[in-house]
Amino acid sequence: MDSEMSHQDGNYNESPAKSEVIGNGTVTTMANSRLKLRVHPNKDHKPEGYDDLDLDFNPSIFSSLERYLPSNMLGIPRDDKAKFMREILLKYLPSGERHRTQKHQEYREKIKSNYQPLHRELYALNPTTFFLPTFLKAISDNTEQSFRSIISEPSPGIYVFPMLQPDFCELLLSEIENFEKWVAEAKFRIMRPNRMNRYGAVLDDFGLEPMLDRLMDDFVRPLSRVFFPEVGGSSLDSHHGFVVEYGEDKDLDLGFHVDDSEVTLNVCLGKEFSGGELFFRGSRCERHVNTGTQSEQEAFDYSHVPGRAVLHRGRHRHGARATTSGHRINLLMWCRSSVFREMKLYQKDFSDWCGECNRMKKERQRSTCAATRLELIAREGESTA
C-alpha cells in the first residue's frame, strides 16, 4: 500500500473554492484529482486547533486526523480541512442518526445544568490519586519494556494489569450512586450505555468526558500504540466511556459480541461478587465475526479483580458469564480511531489480527508450497527420464 493511498499531488491549492467533498471522503477538483488520507501520519506537521468551530465531533478528533491529510492539503484554509475531515467522519454516522446525535447533545446539556456532582475532584484527572504507582511509573517510562514489567498477556491479544487506586474506585462508585439517586428523584430518563446493557450509565453524559479524554490520550493510547498498532492503536481519537452493573435486580450476564471500538479498556471497580467472568474467543474482522473458535489458544476466561484492568481489541469476541451473587460494577472505555476506520475501506486482508484471515492466509501458503513441491518433483522426474 502506498504511503498516500491513491493520492495524487495536484492542484487542490490552486482552486480550493472549486473543490467538492463527496460522500466517500474523496475531494474532486477541476483536474478531478482524488485525495485520500495518508496511511502514516505526518509527524512533522503541527495540526491546527478546532475548538472554536461549531463541529459535529470532538475538536480533538480533527486535530488528530489532520496529521493524516494528503501533503498538499496541509496548507489550505482550516475551514476547508475541517469540511473534508467532517465528510469522512460522517460516513461512520448514518444520516438517520444525525438528528439523534443533536438530541443527545441537548440531553447532555440538560443533565449538566441540573445534576450536582458529589465528588468534583473526579472531573479532572489527577494521576497520583487515580492510578497505582506501578502503573504511573510504567506510563512515565513509556517503553514496551516498562509496560511489560506490569502487564501480563494470559492469552494472545489480552493484556491484564493493576491500574486504579482503591480510593479512586470508591469515589467513582459513590459518584455513580449519587447520579443514579438524582435520576430516580428527578424521574429523569437516562440513556443506557448500549443496546446490550439495561443498567449502568454513560460517564461522558454527566460531565466526565474531559477526564476520560485525558485517560485515553495520556494512558490508554501509549499502551495501544505498542500492543495494538495494527488496529489504529496509535491514532485513537474518540471514546465512549460508561459503567455497567451486574447482580441481583441488575443485568446478570452479557451475550457473545464484539465492541464498537478499536481498543477496549475494562476495569472492575467493585464491589463484592461471585461469577461474572469474561470469556474470549478470538479476534475477527467483520467478514468472519461468526466463524468458529479455531483452537484452545483462542478460548480464555478472565476473572475480574477490583482495580485491575484488561485491555483488548474491540473486535476480540467476548461475553460475560452470570454474576451469581453480589454486585459488580465495571468501568469501560471503547476507544476508537477514525483514521483506522477510514483505512479499513481499502483493505481486504486482516491476517495480522483476524484469526480467520490468518488461517486462510496460511492455508493459501501451504497450498502454494505443496503445488511448488509437486511441480519440482515432476521436473526432476522428467530430467531423469
Query: Across the chain, how many H-helices and E-strands are there?
Result: 11, 14
Question: Residue 58's pLDDT band (boundaries 50, 70, 90)?
Answer: confident
- For residue 2, is pLDDT > 70? no
Nearest CA to 341 among 279, 285, 269, 265? 285
Per the model's pLDDT, the better-predicted residue between 321 and 33 turns out to be 321
Question: Residue 253's pLDDT band (boundaries 50, 70, 90)?
Answer: confident
- For residue 297, is pLDDT > 90? no
Q: Are 320 and 254 in contact (CB under 8 A)?
A: yes
Question: Residue 52's pLDDT band (boundaries 50, 70, 90)?
Answer: confident
> How far are the Cα atoms of 146, 179, 213 from residue 209, in angstroms, in the given order?
28, 15, 6
**pLDDT tens figures, 358-379:** 889 988 888 888 888 888 887 7
Per the model's pLDDT, the better-predicted residue between 320 and 61 turns out to be 320
Q: Which residue is associated with the grid cell 430516580?
A: 184
Per the model's pLDDT, the better-predicted residue between 98 and 253 turns out to be 253
Question: Residue 295's pLDDT band (boundaries 50, 70, 90)?
Answer: confident
Please name the residues in contact with 154: beta carbons below 8 A apart, sequence gap of 6 or more.
160, 300, 302
- For residue 181, is pLDDT > 50? yes
The winner for highest mean pLDDT among 26-35, 60-69, 85-94, 199-208 is 199-208
β 158-162/152-155 pair status: antiparallel
Whether residue 91 is preceded by a cis peptide bond, meaning omega within 30 degrees of 0, is: no
- For residue 382, is pLDDT > 90? no
The winner for highest mean pLDDT among 108-112, 149-153, 353-357 is 149-153
Calculate the average pLDDT of the chain.
85
pLDDT number for residue 40: 82
pLDDT number for residue 34: 59
Write the single-letter amino acid at 369.
C
Per the model's pLDDT, the better-predicted residue between 268 and 367 turns out to be 268
Please name the residues in contact with 170: beta carbons below 8 A apart, sequence gap of 6 or more.
270
Q: Which residue is associated with the grid cell 443506557?
A: 192
Q: Distance between CA atoms of 129 and 273, rounded to whole angstroms?
A: 25
**pLDDT tens figures, 128-143:** 999 999 999 999 999 9
- For residue 383, is pLDDT > 90? no
Fold of 116-344: Jelly Rolls (2.60.120)
Q: What percentage of residues in the chain have a pLDDT greater than 90?
A: 57
**Among positive and negative, which fits the CA dihedral 172, 176, 177, 182?**
positive
Question: Residue 3's pLDDT band (boundaries 50, 70, 90)?
Answer: very low
b (16+ CB within 10 A) / e for 267-287: bbbbeebebbbbebbbbbbee
Q: Are 178 and 122 in contact (CB under 8 A)?
A: no
Question: Residue 204's pLDDT band (boundaries 50, 70, 90)?
Answer: very high
Q: Distance between CA atoms of 249 and 339, rounded to whole angstroms?
A: 40
| Model pTM score | 0.74
pLDDT number for residue 158: 97
